[in-house]
Amino acid sequence: MADDLSGERLKIVILTSHVFLRGYRKASIHFVARKWAEQGHKVHFVTIGHSWLTRLKDRPRFNALSKVQANRFETVEPNLDAGAYLPPLHAFSSNNRVLNRVNEVAFRVYGSYLPDFARKAVATADLVVIESGSALSFFNYVRKLNPRARTLYFCRDLLRSVGAAPILQKMQEEAIPRFDVICVPSQRLGALLPTGGRIRVIPQGVDTALFDRRYASPYKPGSRNAISVGNMLFDQLAVDQMVAAAPEMTFHIFGATWRGAPSPNIVVYGERDFESIVPYIRHADIGLAPYRLTADEVYLAESSLKLSQYSYCRLPILLPDLIPFKRANGIPYRLDGETGWRQKIDAALAMPRLPEFSEGILTWGDVAKQTLRAAFDQA
């Protein structure tokens, strides 16, 4: 297939544990899927990793999926259909050693079947995208259903960092040499993956059209506000220390679960639709990236959506010094034992919002096109 795919209308299937539902957080896979659909490709977004067990853990999510996408597709946008495979049970990762031994079999059984709505989409696809996580268990089944389709591993996380079951890490090692391409947002993440894969580094993007709209500030006039978006590796202790150092500020926490009663100057919003969060980012004084991470997880500096979003909005960013963030709007703090929180916060509040903070950030349209080219590039 030619390198320039602008004239092709491809059939693309995405297998992911994310849901495409209004009111739930958006990850990079959502933005790329939407852009492929806008660019004229037919996209089927298949949610896996859920079952009737989900009702016990997250009843609203289960009910929302059951209502409109249970084992069938719903058209959510032109050229974009979303559906969820909802069996009675599903395999899932656990820290329990006994359960992980059961998972050796459970994930292979789970990944050996898809219901009719998803099976038909996979069988006729030109490209099947498998996201890191439970979707890896379907790789062999996908290849069996449609050996002619190109396969792309959309890898956004180091599996051991997100607590994936050992069997999924083993499946990843087995599958990586067999994928047509592995797309990662970070050179560091690519280097940490098992060897043998055809790695392509494509940075994260920003929905520039969304961020460029005019929004009224959601904050109280004259107030100073810091924002944290996302729950991965969330360091509540660091945020607590920031809050104590700046009692006059309000700290807005989206996505992360807060343990215990928050201080009066903390507002915890839970999981929100991304579009509703944008005005909070646009009008914030400081962006927070409170990661509790290890040396193996510094790839988050290159793969973090919020770092790109904060930078596009020219926010100063407080983040751990372990992250090698190269933009000038980063203000690093010690991951352990930071004592100068007030000075860090004051430096952030005094920082001018310079145009160079946002230079070179890709749009999601750019990311979608580059990812597709990587999938069909024979080089």
Nearest to 109, CA basis, from 124, 95, 89, 123: 89
Tokens at 354, concatenated: 């310079």
Q: Computed over its alpha carbons, how large is the radius of gyration of the chain? A: 21
Q: Tens of pLDDT along 275-303? A: 999 999 999 999 999 999 888 888 877 78
Name the segment(s) of the chain with CATH classification 3.40.50.11010.
Answer: 11-201
Nearest to residue 272, comparing CAs of 254, 287, 256, 285? 254
Please state, rounded to an integer, the average pLDDT across all residues of the chain: 93
Contacts of residue 74, Cβ cutoff 8 Å, sequence gap at least 6: 68, 81, 82, 83
> Which residues of the chain register pLDDT less than 70?
1-7, 378-379
Q: Are 325 and 301 in contact (CB under 8 A)?
A: yes
Q: How, if at all, do strands 80-84 and 73-77 pair? A: antiparallel
Name residue 127's beta-bridge partners: 12, 150
pLDDT value of residue 6: 55
Sign of the dihedral defined by the CA atoms of residues 297, 302, 303, 307, in that order: positive
Fold exhibited by the domain 209-358: Rossmann fold (3.40.50)
Of 354, 322, 349, 350, the closest CA to residue 338 belongs to 322
Q: Where in the chain is the domain with CATH 3.40.50.2000?
A: 209-358
pLDDT in tens, 160-212: 878 889 999 999 999 999 999 999 999 999 999 999 999 999 999 999 999 99
The β-bridge partners of 268 are 253
11-201 sits in which CATH class?
alpha beta
Q: How high is the pLDDT of residue 92?
A: 86
Q: How far apart are CA 100 and CA 78, in angstroms?
A: 41
pLDDT in tens, 6-25: 567 999 999 999 999 987 88
Counting residues of the chain whose pLDDT is more than 70, the rounded percentage is: 98
pTM: 0.85
Q: CB 282: neighbour CB atoms within 10 A?
A: 22
